[in-house]
A and B are shown apart, each in its own frame.
Chain A
Amino acid sequence: MENLDYARLQMAFTLGFHIIFACIGMVMPFFMVVSHKKWLNTRKPVYLKLTKAWQKGVAIFFVTGAVSGTALSFELGMLWPEFMKHAGPVIGMPFSLEGAAFFVEAIALGFYLYGWNKLPETFHWITGIIIGISGVASGILVVSANAWMNSPTGFDVIDGNFVNIDPVAAFLNDAWFTQALHMTLAAFAATGFAVAGIHAFQILRNKKPELHKEAFKIAIFFGAVAALLQPLSGDLSAKDIAERQPVKLAAMEAHYETKKGAPLYIGGIVDEENKEVTHKIEIPKALSFLAFGDFDAEVKGLNDFPEKDLPPVAIVHYAFQTMVGIGTLMMIAALIFFISLKKKSWLNNRKYWWLFAILSPLGFVAVEAGWVVTEVGRQPWIVYNIMRTSEAVTPMPGMKYSFFLYVAVYIILAVTVTWLMKRQIKVLNNSIG
Chain B
Amino acid sequence: MMLYVVLFFTFFSLFLYVLLGGADFGAGIVELFSSRNDRQLNRDTIYKVMGPVWEANHIWLIILIVILWIAFPVYFNIIIIYLHIPLTLVLLGITIRGVAFIFRHYDAVVGASQVWYNRMFRFSSLITPIFLGMCFGTLVSGKIVITEDYSETSFAEIFMFPWLNVFTILTGLFYASLCAFLASTLLIGETTGEIRKLYSKKSAIFTIVLVIMGGLLLAYGLWNKVVFVQDFLSNAYSLSAVSLSALILIPLWKAIKEQHSLLTRFYAGFQVLLVIFAAVNTHFPNLIITSTGDINMMDETAPDSVIRVLGISLIIGGGIILPGLFHLMKSFNMISIPKNFTGEDD
What is the interface of chain A, defined by CB distance below 8 A to chain B? 52, 55-56, 59-60, 62-64, 66-71, 73-74, 76-78, 81-82, 84-86, 88-90, 92-93, 95-97, 99-100, 102-104, 106-107, 109-111, 113-119, 163-168, 394-398, 402, 405, 409, 413, 416, 420, 423-424, 426-428
The answer to whether B55 and A167 touch across the interface, beta carbons within 8 angstroms, is no
The answer to whether A111 and B84 touch across the interface, beta carbons within 8 angstroms, is no
Q: Tell me if B208 is interfacial: C-beta within 8 Å of chain A.
A: no
**9 CB < 8 A contacts A-B:** A63-B55, A66-B58, A68-B95, A76-B69, A81-B81, A106-B55, A109-B55, A420-B103, A426-B108
Most buried by A among B87, B309, B343: B309
Q: Tell me if B292 is interfacial: C-beta within 8 Å of chain A.
A: no
Instruction: Give the Cβ gap from B59 to chain A, nearest Cβ, in Å.
Output: 5
Q: Chain B residues near A99: list those with CB within 8 A.
A: 59, 62-63, 66, 317
Q: How far is the CA of A12 from the CA of B325 in the complex (A)?
A: 34
Instruction: Give the Cβ gap from B100 to chain A, nearest Cβ, in Å.
Output: 10
The answer to whether A119 and B81 touch across the interface, beta carbons within 8 angstroms, is no
Instruction: Give the Cβ gap from A185 to chain B, nearest Cβ, in Å.
Output: 27
Question: Count the B residues whose beta carbon is within 8 Å of the partner chain — how many?
Answer: 65
Which of B63, B80, B106 is close to A56, meaning CB atoms less than 8 Å apart? B106
What is the interface of chain B, defined by CB distance below 8 A to chain A? 51-56, 58-59, 61-63, 65-67, 69-71, 73-74, 76-77, 80-81, 84, 87-88, 91-92, 94-95, 98-99, 101-103, 106-109, 148, 150, 155, 159, 302-303, 305-306, 309-310, 313-314, 316-317, 320-321, 324-325, 328, 331-332, 341, 343-346
* CB contacts between A and B, total, < 8 Å: 210
The answer to whether B106 and A60 touch across the interface, beta carbons within 8 angstroms, is yes
The answer to whether A117 and B62 touch across the interface, beta carbons within 8 angstroms, is no
The answer to whether A84 and B80 touch across the interface, beta carbons within 8 angstroms, is yes
The answer to whether B53 and A60 touch across the interface, beta carbons within 8 angstroms, is no
Main secondary structure of the interface of A (DSSP, over half): helix
Instruction: Give the Cβ gap from B258 to chain A, nearest Cβ, in Å.
Output: 29
Which of A114, A117, A394, A424 is close to B332, meaning CB atoms less than 8 Å apart? A114
Which of A81, A166, A167 is close to B80, meaning CB atoms less than 8 Å apart? A81
User: Given A63-B98, A110-B53 in contact, is the A89-B331 Cβ separation under 8 Å?
Assistant: no
Which of A63, A96, A118 is close to B102, meaning CB atoms less than 8 Å apart? A63
Q: Chain A residues near B73: list those with CB within 8 A.
A: 84-86, 88-89
Most buried by B among A89, A90, A109: A89
The answer to whether B331 and A100 touch across the interface, beta carbons within 8 angstroms, is no
The answer to whether A73 and B62 touch across the interface, beta carbons within 8 angstroms, is yes
The answer to whether A117 and B346 touch across the interface, beta carbons within 8 angstroms, is yes
The answer to whether A103 and B76 touch across the interface, beta carbons within 8 angstroms, is no
Q: How far is the CA of A97 from the CA of B316 in the complex (A)?
A: 10
In order of increasing CB-CB distance, the 3 nearest A-B pairs are: A92-B70, A100-B317, A77-B80
Q: Chain B residues near A64: list those with CB within 8 A.
A: 98-99, 102
